[in-house]
Amino acid sequence: MQITRKFSKNNLSFTDYYHIFALRSPIRAGIGKRQLKNNNMIDYIKGNIAEINPTEVVLECYGIGYKILISLQTYEGLNGKSEAKVYIHHYLREDEELYYGFYTKDERELFRLLISVSGVGASTARMMLSSLTSDEIRNAIIAEDINKIKSIKGIGTKSAQRLILELKDKVIKGGGSDTTALFSPSSNPAVDEATTALVMLGFTKANVNKAVATVLKGNPSASLEEIIKLSLKLL
């Protein structure tokens, strides 16, 4: 009864009371740790860049400064701008609440794919996105390039193998990507042309990507003709 009177004076309903404590004390509200980790109610934050460095940015929005953890590739996209729109992954646990921010939805989706792998936490995923571009990570997973993935600090052989095992099919199917191509044109200009040509021949995009990845694994600098010829043998 005493609690009821206290909240009546402040014009707070029982629902307000519950929401306050649900946010401040997830355990009392009966919300599990797994649910909290995947809390995605905030899609993006848009505001003025108050502070920025290679690991975090502070966005000021309506007088509130949001501290957001970022990767190096997001820093490169935001640096030099006065205002920005940052896509958010809300990381909420019993003992901490963090905002991870991304310059593109594509990077955020890849981040979410990475943390879905057992043993890969948010900090490790951010390190991966700071060490390699999103396309480089996808290409390494598709090509089963363990050494490339192991070159990232904090990733050992077992973790690299697990990433490939759990994510290869998802990446081939386009998981964690808003783009139509799974390979970076800058890494091999012939890849896009070869992929398009093979798809036009009637093969599915998923099978083409898999075949091209296998070819590039054995010969990363293959020419357009070589990629098409060798891929056709695998399709």
203-212 per-position pLDDT tens digit? 887 788 888 8
- Ranking 67-81, 156-170, 175-189 by mean pLDDT, the lowest is 175-189
214-226 per-position pLDDT tens digit? 888 888 778 888 8
70-90 per-position pLDDT tens digit? 999 999 999 999 999 999 999
Task: Please provide residue 15's backbone torsions phi and psi, each rounded to the nearest 5 degrees.
Answer: -65, -40
Tokens of 153: 């600090």
CA 66 to mean position of chain CA atoms: 20
Tell me how far apart the terminal alpha carbons of the chain are, to the nearest angstrom: 73
Over range 14-32, report the average pLDDT.
44
Please report the domains of the chain, with CATH numbers, ordered by start residue: 2-30 (no CATH), 44-102 (2.40.50.140), 105-172 (1.10.150.20), 190-234 (1.10.8.10)
For the full predicted model, state whether its pTM sits above 0.75: no
Separation CA 114–CA 160 (nearest Å): 11
Tokens of 81: 């701008």
